[in-house]
């Protein structure tokens, strides 16, 4: 059993699996307990580094979950080692709900989605958010690349468990950067054709 399955498959979840007829398949994954945190492999590290955003879920003292989107240039989420992620948190709407939540309960869930390749990675971890000036060495590690803006906190996530999700129902979408890369050869070809057409029109005009 993976550490993720162990944490996610609560008694209530198993009852629903029984109701829906998936308990047998789920039970195969639950035979051997996995009590230690799962280290990230190169596949997970490369996937995380290649994305420009993720969903960040925390839980407040009222028991209600809260989800925020965190975005930046690809690589703004740094894989510091096989068990630690980190990024510079910049000023936003100044509600600080996620920051306050992780101070009360450091358990968080992260969801990384690559829409273009229809891939999805879910992750459980323990988060910390400390003031930007509190750890200069960590701030330097997270400095580049980073999200533009005023840095307020240094966020780290100690990875507890992760799992790759199925690709079903992930709608393919492409960022401006991805589209620019794909369309660059097409635009170059169009520019050459326009130049050739202009030259041909000039030659034709000379015969009139």
Q: Is the pLDDT of residue 25 over 80?
A: no
Sheet holding 78-81, edge to edge: 65-71, 53-59, 107-114, 119-131, 151-165, 84-90, 78-81
Pick 176 or 40 by higher pLDDT: 40
Give the residue carrying structure tokens 């507890």. Answer: 160
Q: Is the pLDDT of residue 28 over 70?
A: no
d(CA 87, CA 139): 9
State the virtual CA torsion across 46, 68, 111, 177 in degrees, nearest 10.
-40
Q: Is the pLDDT of residue 24 over 90?
A: no
- The pLDDT, as a whole number, for residue 177 is 85
Lowest mean pLDDT among 19-28, 163-172, 174-183, 184-193: 19-28
Lowest mean pLDDT among 59-68, 97-106, 160-169: 160-169
pLDDT band with cut points at 50, 70 and 90 for residue 29? low
Q: Is the pLDDT of residue 1 over 70?
A: no
CA-derived radius of gyration, the chain: 23
Q: Is the pTM of this model over 0.75?
A: yes
Burial bucket for residue 161 (CB in 10 Å: 0-12, 13-18, 19+): buried
Looking at CATH, the fold of the domain delimited by 37-172 is given as Pnp Oxidase; Chain A (2.30.110)
**Looking at residues 29-51, what average pLDDT do you find?**
85
């Amino acid at each position: 059993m993976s550490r993720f399955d162990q944490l996610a498959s609560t008694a209530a979840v198993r009852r629903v699996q029984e109701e829906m007829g998936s308990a047998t398949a789920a039970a195969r994954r639950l035979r051997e307990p996995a009590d230690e945190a799962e280290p990230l492999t190169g596949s997970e590290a490369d996937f995380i580094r290649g994305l420009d955003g993720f969903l960040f879920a925390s839980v407040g003292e009222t028991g209600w979950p809260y989800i925020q989107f965190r975005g930046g240039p690809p690589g703004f989420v740094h894989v510091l080692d096989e068990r630690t992620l980190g990024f510079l948190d910049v000023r936003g709407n100044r509600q600080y709900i996620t920051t306050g939540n992780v101070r009360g309960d450091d358990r968080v869930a992260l969801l990384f989605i690559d829409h273009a390749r229809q891939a999805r990675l879910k992750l459980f971890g323990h988060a910390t958010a400390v003031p930007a000036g509190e750890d200069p060495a960590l701030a330097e590690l997270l400095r580049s690349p980073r999200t533009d803006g005023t840095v307020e906190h240094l966020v780290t996530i100690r990875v507890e468990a992760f799992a790759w999700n199925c690709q079903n129902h992930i709608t393919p979408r492409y960022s401006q950067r991805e589209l620019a890369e794909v369309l660059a050869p097409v635009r170059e070809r169009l520019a050459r054709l326009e130049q050739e057409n202009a030259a041909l029109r000039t030659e034709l005009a000379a015969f009139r």
